[in-house]
Amino acid sequence: MMAGFTYTAHPARVIFADTALDQLEAEAGRLGARRMLVITTPRQTGLMDTLTAALGDRVCGTFAGAAMHTPVDISDLAADTARTRKADLVVAAGGGSAIGLSKAVALRTGLPQLVIPTTYSGSEMTPILGETRNGQKQTQVSAKVLPQTVLYDVSLSLALPVHVSMTSGMNAIAHAVEALYARDRNPVISLLALEAIGAMAAALPAIHHTPDDGEARRKALYGAWLCGLCLGSVGMALHHKLCHTLGGSFALPHAETHTVLLPHALAYNAPAIPEVMHQLAGVLGSDPARRLQDLARATGAPVSLAEIGMPESGLQRAADIALSNPYWNPRPLEREAILALLRRAHDGSLPQMDS
């Protein structure tokens, strides 16, 4: 018998096309925008130029200061810029950093958002905002940070570097994997999660082999959209807590941290989620945790925390922080077991299931 569940759909207008950017001006007009603040990261000045050219004199200001893990001082500065420029719409283009900053501005100002993802992070589909304050990443959930319109433009993803594509894609898979065993999981999201994982797991090796493979890029962006829907619709568990801890407290790169930790967090929870492991085996093959690490290794993504800058001396502290304000998890959180998980992840060892 199917268990009872609650499913809440988050409203958003999604446009998915090979050249969705062609619709940017029309979508901004549909939102009634006359004064737009355009947000990117410092590395995306070319994209900034493209957006400002497309929007013309309706651009009231630009902010190319989005940073990883969304530091609160940058959020405050961007929100002040929006107020000073009297913006009526935030237009953000880029990955999780740019979209995270857009959401932070929306939370502070109440402005609507039109976002254009260029990676596979999935942040654009969630009511979740994580900001870093005093070396710790704090996460909150609010409908106020949901973008009103999302433009998925496949052509923009063609220029995404292979390394970023792989880690960003693994980050997306992590959202869908945890959605399968979230406390508030439901049949709709579980179906989307399995579809998303299958699409992304097929697309990443193809992109690694042929970066300009349009069909693989299309499949990856589709998978990223679904993964974001999963993250935005149900809760998170141990994997995301560990990633937020390591990212916020040790300044580790976001997507790479997800890539390394996902196989180990899944293996930790495996004894408590046999049905989910069976479902994942149908998509990934036998021993899904090992298959995820194999996928990362085969596509050149990192498989150890050491190679992305995590000091071994910080593992004890990381375990303590993760346990200080833990997320719900299907398996009880045991300090020594979590510390062992972190040590295996630090060394790049095989994920290990225990009971």
| pLDDT tens, residue by residue, 225-273 | 999 999 889 988 999 999 989 988 899 998 999 999 999 999 999 999 9
| Helix, strand or coil, per DSSP, at residue 300 | coil
**Residue 248 · residue 132 · CB < 8 Å:** yes
How many separate helices (H) and strands (E) can be counted in the chain?
Answer: 14, 8
Task: Name the token pair of 333.
Answer: 């959180």
Q: Please tell me the distance from the alpha carbon of residue 352 to that of residue 272, in angstroms, as a whole number.
A: 14
Stretch 302-331: mean pLDDT: 94
Residue type, 23: Q
pLDDT band at 326 (very low <50, low <70, confident <90, very high): confident
Judge whether residue 10 has pLDDT over 90: no
- Which residue bears the tokens 């398996």? 331
Laid out side by side, the sheet with 36-39 consists of: 13-17, 149-153, 113-117, 89-94, 36-39, 59-63
Q: Where are the domains of the chain?
A: 13-157, 162-347
**Residue 119 and residue 224: Cα distance in Å, rounded?**
8
Residue range 53-61: mean pLDDT, rounded: 94
Q: Is the pLDDT of residue 181 over 50?
A: yes
Q: Name 129's bridge partners.
A: 140
Q: Which two tokens stand for residue 237?
A: 């568990």
Q: What is the pLDDT of residue 2?
A: 56
Q: What is 162-347's CATH superfamily?
A: Dehydroquinate synthase-like - alpha domain (1.20.1090.10)
pLDDT higher than threshold 60 for residue 98:
yes
Interatomic CA distance for residues 215 and 138, integer angstroms = 37
Closest CA to 151 of 12, 247, 347: 12
CATH code for the part of the protein at 13-157 = 3.40.50.1970
Whether residue 1 has pLDDT greater than 50: no
% of the chain at pLDDT higher than 90: 85
Q: Beta-strand (E) ranges in 142-198?
A: 149-153
